[in-house]
Structures are given as C-alpha cells and as structure tokens.
Structure 1
C-alpha cells in the first residue's frame, strides 16, 4: 500500500507540472495553465528607459521584463514572459499629462504579446486610456543598442459617452504615429 501511495504521489506531481512552450507559440496552440517562456532571451534587448519627443511632448518609456505573467482569456488562462511598458508623457512645460510608472492609472496596460525575431521587433497590446479609448497595438523595432522605433495603431479612438463617466480624461497621450525614434537613457 505504501508503494502505491508513493507512485500515486509522484504521478500527481509530474502531471500537475505546467507545459513550457516557446515565446511565439500561437494562442490556439497554448493549453490551459501552460507557460510561454522567453527561451531565447528575445525580450532582454528591449529592457531599459527610453525617451522620445512628439508634437511638443516628451515621452519616457520604462520597459521591464515580467516573468510568468498571468494571462486570463475568455477560454483559458496561462502564463507568459512579457515586456511591460510603463510611461510618462510631459508637455513642453514639463507638466505630467499621464504617468503609469507608479500605477497611478492601474487599468492602463501595455505588454508584449509576440516577437518577430527576423524583424528585430516586438508587438505589444495596449489597453487604451480611461474607458479603453485608444486600445490597440504598438510595435517596437530594435534599430541599435540605443534606439528603438515606435509605431502605434489604435483600434478604437471613439468613445460611446454612455459607457464613460462624465468628466473622465479620455485623451490619448501616447504618440499615434509610425517611425518615432526613442533613445535609451
């Protein structure tokens, strides 16, 4: 009986271990509770603080890597290694227009969902600002060890006034443009 209990215990331990998959595994191929891991360190070169200017605004990107980030989808949940971007946008007078660095606005998320190794780029999901205005995709391309190129493609910039409380700031402060250069600090 003791041997059967040991065998059953070992089986339980090994069967509960999550499956580890490479970073660019297609979403439909990721089983529930799997771990999509940065096995080739594709995310590491992007980590750092970068600055750029657009339309009289200074944008600071703080890019970090989060290992084992929980992803919750409608049909399953899994874990993945991801880059997370926090940012600060200042006007020409130095006043802060938006700051997500210290979770001042916790509902705004900006994290990587895929890489394109042959193109030296990473694709990010952006949740948008308040009431999800401006949600969409951001593409960062590594130009050199000190520069990245930015492209932001919002999927929705219009808001239904019925879904957002009156007086809510629904401005999109991130640069809606392509080929904006950010320099590592």
Structure 2
C-alpha cells in the first residue's frame, strides 16, 4: 500500500513538472506595439506578440476617400489582430493594419487592389503598423506604375487623415519567388500628399 502511494505521488509530481514546463514554453511575450524598439525579444521563436494594447489603430480603420477634379482615390483599412508571421526566420505575432484601394480618373478605374490576399505575410499592396515613435507607417504599392511607396498617416480630425508617400530608393515591387519586375514607370498614379475623408 505504501509503495502504491509513493508511485502515485511520483506520478503526480512528474505530471505537474511536465505541465509547468509546457506552459512556460507556450507562454507569449506580449509587448505594446509602440514599445517594440525598447525590447530585445526574439522574432523567431513564436513567443512574441506585438499588440495594439492602447487601441491606437482604431482612428485609422474604415473607408477613406480623396477626390480632386476628375481623380478619385478610395482606401479601406482593416485591423488584423494577432496575425502570425511565419515565413523564413520570422515567427511572431502582430496586430497590423492591411487594406486595399481603388484609383479612378474620369470615372475609369485604373487600379483596384480589393482582390488582394490580406492573409499574406509580406507581399501586400497596403500594410501599416506603428513604429517606435507611435507614427503609423507602412507601404502602399502603386500597382499601375509598379512602384512601392513608404507611407505615413496623420490624423487631422475624426473624419480626416492626411496620407503622405515617398518612393523607396529602389521602389520596384518585387513579389517573393517572382522574376525581377520591369523598369519602373516615371511619376506616380495618385498624389503622394492628400487629405482623405472618412466615408
């Protein structure tokens, strides 16, 4: 009887130890998305979660529109919560903003990225996150001109945001696994400084 009691006790202690080890390994390091630069947590072991703890993304979400003369740019921004980046050496989670846009001239649609796969890791035409200074930064691709723009948003009011873009040094859009893109066209399709109104 004493031997059975000792075996049960050893079994329970072993089970508790294994359970504790597993729960520690599965633990996630939750870091406020704007404090990422102040932390040295690994982006490769699947334990990091860059979270929008203060709900900073909320004012940017929705559909925004800019019109001037015969030109019209409509941008839709959506939040993805705890998106899992798991490609190459990257293995971490992040709250991020993704989206799509349309651009028209004289009523003719020249660009429409609404069929983009928003579950993609890196090959998105519209993707934003907060940098270390609490600025919403990211990329918007001009798919008509085959260019990529580093982009920023500034909140003017609850119903207006200002978009600014700057062409990357080698701003050609290069999708993973695809051949090199063609020569970049001169100029840009839509303005790189515009005020958009919430719809």
The TM-score normalised by the length of structure 1 is 0.78
Please say if residues 129 and 172 of structure 1, whose CA atoms lie closer than 8 Å, have aligned partners that are also in contact: no
Q: Which moved more, 1:151-160 or 1:140-149?
A: 151-160
Please say if residues 22 and 37 of structure 1, whose CA atoms lie closer than 8 Å, have aligned partners that are also in contact: yes
Task: Describe the superposition over 1:27-76 as per-residue Cα deviations: whole angstroms up to 9, x where unpaired.
Answer: 97341320000000000111111100257321100011111123357543
Please say if residues 66 and 72 of structure 2, whose CA atoms lie closer than 8 Å, have aligned partners that are also in contact: yes
Please say if residues 122 and 140 of structure 1, whose CA atoms lie closer than 8 Å, have aligned partners that are also in contact: yes
Query: Matched residues in 1 for 2:184 and 2:68: separation?
Result: 20
Structure 2: stretches of 5+ with no match in the other structure: 1-9
The TM-score normalised by the length of structure 2 is 0.73
Query: Matched residues in 2 for 1:54 and 1:177: separation?
Result: 13
- Residues 134, 146 of structure 1: alpha-carbon distance in 2 compared, 3 angstrom cutoff: same
Runs of 4+ in 1 over 4 A off after TM superposition: 72-75, 104-107, 157-160, 168-174
Structure 2 equivalent of residue 48 of structure 1: 62
Structure 1: stretches of 5+ with no match in the other structure: none
Query: Matched residues in 1 for 2:187 and 2:79: separation?
Result: 24
Q: Which has the larger radius of gyration?
A: 2
Within 5 Å, which residues of 2 pair with 1:33-44? 33=46, 34-44=48-58
RMSD: 3.4
Please say if residues 98 and 128 of structure 2, whose CA atoms lie closer than 8 Å, have aligned partners that are also in contact: yes
Please say if residues 127 and 139 of structure 2, whose CA atoms lie closer than 8 Å, have aligned partners that are also in contact: yes
Within 5 Å, which residues of 2 pair with 1:129-168? 129=143, 133-155=146-168, 156-157=170-171, 163-164=180-181
